[in-house]
Chains A and B, each alone.
Chain A
């Protein structure tokens, strides 16, 4: 949940780390937040989104012409293949992620359920805005995502990702041919967005939307990892959220 940490919930960190910290008198506490399938999904998604952006850009603006006979080269073919393979990976992983939201721990649901109806959530979001505007000296502690992060992850990533998967498979269905499964499931999008060219343009624009999310996301992950009161990057790798101080939220 996005509510600030309740101290009773936090387990005591292993005392080894505390002793190693040595000089600084600080007791770190840790909570197991992101389970293995979720972490795996995160890094699979990172890999496929990066591949999709690079190959997608090269589909839109291909590399300089290669010399030789057409039969000796297959560059666009390989780039497009990589794009479609990564596209499948992204989509299948996302279906897995939705499944995990149903069966995983409560943090697995944060990505999809933004508690916009809760006053407390808005209050914390405002605090977070002030923290990013350097108006607040100390951030709050969060076991899960902070409210702003949750917002970005839902509105930029989840919606953006779904949009890319839907438009991507609609375009893919054009290549597979009429009445193919992709055409039947997603082909209706093409007349909806004008025509095939419109879908290409929207799919292309969607890439930039996701790129902007990733830029902000990675910056904030690194910044918060350094400046906030909890671990972030190691949490997405090992699953444990470490808190750097014992002070109340």
Chain B
């Protein structure tokens, strides 16, 4: 393994100064929520450890994850991580193309067997033997399984790889499935979102590159450092929620005053993501700050839960799409009517039989 360069060597070769390198280390420590004492540790790890290669595959997807990733707030993070990744394989970003690109995938897999991280953007469709997504002349499904075989760990980028997202939404004609349905023997780190936040993506990957292990995951396989809380838990409009001050219509006084968007269907209370803390586009804003409710893009099956403007899911089984309240009220109404009818008949019967029974 000694012939493999360290991160530091790669960075220096890319023309990054030592000063910038140290700055990168302390920024990374901060982004990961680690104390400043961790900066030297990160620096040390990067100087001594051979760098971990990353292979980045693209299945059925829209490339929004890549688009988000290259917009990471700190250019250094982006440049460093990106340049390191493009050394290996990312068919969208790398210089090589065609057979040359496929060859470099094979080379990296062979050279770093059991050492590389596999990052997957998008997901494999299973229908028609995977023919709905072809990469390099073969079904993506095959490429995914092939590349996963010798990977150390796997990152599922975005809601597509994590949950299925739009291509897996009902009726899912291509039978697209999240990657954990086809890769069952490797640790998978889910980084959901449509797309995930850039800083979350670089944070996760930097953590794995520096510490050589996967971050702590929650029950559903998401890194706890970014997905342990709901949008609602850290939303700056939360005081209006607790006070009972809501936007009732999009054009009302409450909307102008920045009240809570709960009643217009904000999914913040049921969505685990870092938007309300990290925000988007270099921390500029996030949907709720712009006046629109969260649509729950990082949650499983968010396309199939009904309108973006209703909090409760539609329940499709009832034919016409309805939510829990509509169904409950209809049934309760029916039961109430039945009770009233039954009570009326009971009263009549009782009046009729009164004489007989008392005697």
Contact across chains for B243 and A211 when beta carbons are under 8 A apart: no
Against A, the Cβ 8 Å flags (1 = close, 0 = not) of B237-249 are: 0011111111010
Against B, the Cβ 8 Å flags (1 = close, 0 = not) of A230-241 are: 000000000000
A37 interface residue (CB < 8 Å to B): no
Contact across chains for B299 and A73 when beta carbons are under 8 A apart: no
A91-99, A140-148, A201-209 - interface stretch: A201-209
B125-133, B137-145, B167-175, B322-330 - interface stretch: B322-330
- CB-CB under 8 A from A63, the residues of chain B are 244
Tell whether A196 pairs with B230 under 8 Å between CB atoms, given A65-B254, A134-B345, A208-B324.
Answer: yes
Against B, the Cβ 8 Å flags (1 = close, 0 = not) of A39-78 are: 0000000000000000000001111111000111111110
Give Cα A71 to B243, complex, Å: 7
Give Cα A204 to B314, complex, Å: 12
Give Cα A215 to B228, complex, Å: 40
**Which residue in A64, A76, A196, A227 is a CB contact (below 8 Å) of B242?**
A76
Tell whether A194 pairs with B301 under 8 Å between CB atoms, given A60-B325, A208-B329, A227-B350.
Answer: yes
Q: Closest Cβ of chain B: how far from A54's Cβ, in Å?
A: 14
Tell whether A208 pairs with B244 under 8 Å between CB atoms, given A65-B259, A178-B224, A201-B315.
Answer: no
Give Cα A63 to B243, complex, Å: 11
**Which residue in A62, A70, A227 is a CB contact (below 8 Å) of B239?**
A70
Give Cα A244 to B339, complex, Å: 25
Give Cα A208 to B336, complex, Å: 12
Contact across chains for B270 and A200 when beta carbons are under 8 A apart: yes
Which parts of B289-332 form the interface with A (CB within 8 Å)? 296, 299-301, 305, 311-313, 315, 323-325, 327-329, 331-332
Contact across chains for B219 and A215 when beta carbons are under 8 A apart: no
- CB-CB under 8 A from B229, the residues of chain A are 177-178
Tell whether A65 pairs with B244 under 8 Å between CB atoms, given A132-B342, A208-B332.
Answer: yes
Which parts of B140-174 form the interface with A (CB within 8 Å)? none
Give Cα A60 to B146, complex, Å: 47
Contact across chains for B328 and A195 when beta carbons are under 8 A apart: no
Contact across chains for A205 and B328 when beta carbons are under 8 A apart: yes
Contact across chains for B339 and A219 when beta carbons are under 8 A apart: yes
A174 interface residue (CB < 8 Å to B): yes
Give Cα A50 to B248, complex, Å: 27
**Which residue in B243, B263, B343 is a CB contact (below 8 Å) of A66?**
B243
Give Cα A191 to B324, complex, Å: 19
Give Cα A62 to B329, complex, Å: 17
Which parts of B253-273 form the interface with A (CB within 8 Å)? 254, 259, 262-263, 267, 269-272
**Which residue in B239, B299, B312 is a CB contact (below 8 Å) of A204?**
B312
Contact across chains for B305 and A197 when beta carbons are under 8 A apart: yes
- CB-CB under 8 A from B329, the residues of chain A are 208
- CB-CB under 8 A from B313, the residues of chain A are 197-198, 200-201
**Which residue in B240, B271, B349 is a CB contact (below 8 Å) of A196?**
B271
Give Cα A70 to B236, complex, Å: 12
Q: Closest Cβ of chain B: how far from A33's Cβ, in Å?
A: 24
Give Cα A216 to B335, complex, Å: 8
Give Cα A76 to B301, complex, Å: 29
Q: Closest Cβ of chain A: how far from B240's Cβ, in Å?
A: 5
**Among B270, B329, B346, residue most surrounded by chain A Cβ atoms (within 10 Å):** B270
Closest to A63 in B: B244
**Which residue in B219, B243, B269, B272 is a CB contact (below 8 Å) of A188?**
B219
- CB-CB under 8 A from A24, the residues of chain B are 358
**Which residue in A191, A197, A215 is a CB contact (below 8 Å) of B267?**
A197
Which parts of B195-234 form the interface with A (CB within 8 Å)? 218-220, 224, 228-230, 233
- CB-CB under 8 A from B259, the residues of chain A are 65
Give Cα A209 to B328, complex, Å: 7
Give Cα A194 to B304, complex, Å: 11
Against B, the Cβ 8 Å flags (1 = close, 0 = not) of A163-192 are: 000000000001101100000000110110
**Which residue in B219, B271, B328, B345 is a CB contact (below 8 Å) of A208?**
B328
Tell whether A219 pairs with B270 under 8 Å between CB atoms, given A65-B244, A177-B229.
Answer: no
Give Cα A106 to B358, complex, Å: 33
Given A70-B245, A195-B301, 12 more pairs with CB closer than 8 A: A66-B245, A73-B244, A74-B242, A74-B243, A76-B244, A174-B230, A178-B218, A200-B311, A201-B323, A207-B324, A208-B329, A216-B335
Could you write out 9 A-B pairs with CB less than 8 Å apart?
Answer: A61-B325, A74-B242, A175-B233, A177-B228, A178-B228, A188-B219, A196-B270, A215-B335, A223-B346
